[in-house]
């Protein structure tokens, strides 16, 4: 009996030693064969925003200044701050602004570069402008704070598109100025196509709707600049009016702050304080098309003669989302 027990223990110890030895032999193989999976690409979007609002112009004087743009910028900032994208509640990484005399032509382009620095292909960048706009040689221009009447001191379609196209990813652009539809091809020449809502009007209608005050106040230098429009697949754009129309601001009589028609409609349709009525299906997501439809109906209801323009038409792209606020 004792002999059998001794043989049993000897065999058990021997087998344990063999297993232990094999384990150490295979240990290096385990480490070398455990090749880590490649890190998946970052598919989470980063959101950045820059709002420009110019009411106090350096060379205009009181009669040429605007009252609403600084208030417009505050409304846009409020919407950006409230945004909460996707179930993980992605908020804006950066919300910048330039107002009044800070927003010279050079400062605007410098701010575009600094605000959107570091953007990647899956990021979303928001650019908003509220201020004077003008038209020269059938090309729309934005008027920075130091615009002096010479067209070279304005911001052309080409210049804005060049600055924005350097930003990787999707660009959401809101332009609130006279003749702003020209930035997405709403031109007298009819370039573009009807699918993109290009509008064809007569020379007589153009002249009757043209902003005569702009022409009489400023003398422009000669020259024509071809247009690089904000109409590539990387853009989602709303403009406050057609290329031939003025855009308006309202000065309430009873102490309320002044507002521009376009931005007020955008804010009333897409902001939490007004319960986002532009969100037609109440899913806490407001698409470009939903915002466009709400602003169109709002301005028509109140009788404002300016027609918001959109690119692209019927876009499902989500421009505002309030996920946690909704639930």
Q: Span 47-326: which CATH code? A: 3.40.50.1460
Mean residue pLDDT across the chain: 80
pLDDT tens track for 125-143: 999 999 999 988 888 899 9
Rounded Cα distance between 267 and 298, Å, is 11
Which of 86-90, 96-100, 196-200, 281-285 is predicted least confidently?
A: 196-200
For the cut 90, the answer to whether the pLDDT of residue 162 exceeds it is: yes
The pLDDT assigned to 137 comes to 85
Q: Which tops the pLDDT comparison, 201 or 172?
A: 172
pLDDT tens track for 188-205: 444 433 333 333 333 334
- Burial environment of residue 6 by CB neighbours within 10 A (0 to 12, 13 to 18, 19 or more): exposed
Are 236 and 288 in contact by the 8 Å Cβ rule? The answer is yes
The domain limits of the chain are: 47-326
Name the percent of the chain lying above pLDDT 70.
Answer: 73
For the cut 50, the answer to whether the pLDDT of residue 212 exceeds it is: no
For the cut 60, the answer to whether the pLDDT of residue 226 exceeds it is: no
Average pLDDT over residues 146-175: 95
For the cut 60, the answer to whether the pLDDT of residue 313 exceeds it is: yes
- Burial environment of residue 27 by CB neighbours within 10 A (0 to 12, 13 to 18, 19 or more): exposed
pLDDT tens track for 69-80: 999 999 999 999
Name the percent of the chain lying above pLDDT 90.
Answer: 62
- Global confidence as pTM: 0.77
For the cut 60, the answer to whether the pLDDT of residue 8 exceeds it is: no
CA distances from 229 to 10, 64, 65, 70, 225 (A): 87, 28, 28, 27, 12
Band of the pLDDT at 314, cuts 50, 70, 90?
A: very high
């Amino acid at each position: 009996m004792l002999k059998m027990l001794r043989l049993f223990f000897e065999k058990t110890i021997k087998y344990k030693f063999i297993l232990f030895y094999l384990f150490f032999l295979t240990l290096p193989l385990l480490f070398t064969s455990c090749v880590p999976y490649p890190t998946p690409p970052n598919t989470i979007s980063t959101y950045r925003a820059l709002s420009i609002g110019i009411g106090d112009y350096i060379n205009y004087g009181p009669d040429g200044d605007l009252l609403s743009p600084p208030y417009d910028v505050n409304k846009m900032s409020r919407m950006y701050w409230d945004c909460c994208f996707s179930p993980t509640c992605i908020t804006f990484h950066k919300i910048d602004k330039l107002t009044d005399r800070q927003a010279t032509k050079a400062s605007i382009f410098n701010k575009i570069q600094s605000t959107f620095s570091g953007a990647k292909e899956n990021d979303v960048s928001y650019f908003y402008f509220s201020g004077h706009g003008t038209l020269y040689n059938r090309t729309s221009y934005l008027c920075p704070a130091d615009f002096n009447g010479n067209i070279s001191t304005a911001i052309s379609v080409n210049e804005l598109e060049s600055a924005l196209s350097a930003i990787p990813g999707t660009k959401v652009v809101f332009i609130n100025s006279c003749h702003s539809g020209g930035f997405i091809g709403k031109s007298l020449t009819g370039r573009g196509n009807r699918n993109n809502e290009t509008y064809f009007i007569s020379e007589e209608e153009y002249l009757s709707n043209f902003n005569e005050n702009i022409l009489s106040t400023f003398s422009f230098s000669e020259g024509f600049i071809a247009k690089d429009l904000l109409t590539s697949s990387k853009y989602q754009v709303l403009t406050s009016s057609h290329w031939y129309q003025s855009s308006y601001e309202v000065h309430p009589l009873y102490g309320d702050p002044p507002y521009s028609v376009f931005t007020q409609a955008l804010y009333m349709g897409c902001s939490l304080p007004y319960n986002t009525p532009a969100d037609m299906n109440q899913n806490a997501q407001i698409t470009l098309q939903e915002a466009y439809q709400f602003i169109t109906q709002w301005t028509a209801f109140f009788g404002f003669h300016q027609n918001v323009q959109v690119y692209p038409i019927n876009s499902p792209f989500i421009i505002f989302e309030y996920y946690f606020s909704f639930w």
